[in-house]
Amino acid sequence: MDIKYIKDDFQFLYRVSCLIFNKDKTKVLLFNCEGRHFFLLPGGKVNQKEESLEALKREIKEELGFEGLSYSFLAISEEFVEDKGYFNQQINLIYQGIFPGDITSEQFHGIEGDWIQFHWIDVDKIDSYEIYPNGIKQAIMNPDKIYHFVENLTR
């Protein structure tokens, strides 16, 4: 069961996500959803009694079928988003992962359906993309630091 709390128009979520690089860190894997112009990091909700890294490994396998990535902690992101009638407060632990295989397709659909499109994006072209959380671009360019992002994305 996801760690999620809802009361009236307030929702709290505990998530994990991953900044996945290829072997030489020249490309990063992001996704966007049908009807949205921005990109996000793969990941998902943490289950009750589940460690964050185990949750991430589970989510990456469920969404992408990837296993055998090496992971290290990258950031914590506090996100405040007003959307679809809820005020969402989210804690997101972000890891860095290295994909050990070869990239066989620059774009592909996720395992969970055609509504999600994954893209291997050149790191040197990252500034031309809208990515959330906003601070993640800084981490893409300098992934050897630990970050703390606080973002208010109310609409």
Give residue limits of the domains in the chain: 4-152
Q: Residue 155: which pLDDT band, with cuts at 50, 70 and 90?
A: low
pLDDT tens-digit profile of 48-75?
999 999 999 999 999 999 999 999 999 9
Q: Tell me the three state secondary structure of residue 19.
A: strand
Evaluate if residue 154 carries a pLDDT over 80.
no
The CATH fold of domain 4-152: Nucleoside Triphosphate Pyrophosphohydrolase (3.90.79)
The residue among 79, 82, 66 whose CA lies nearest residue 31 is 66
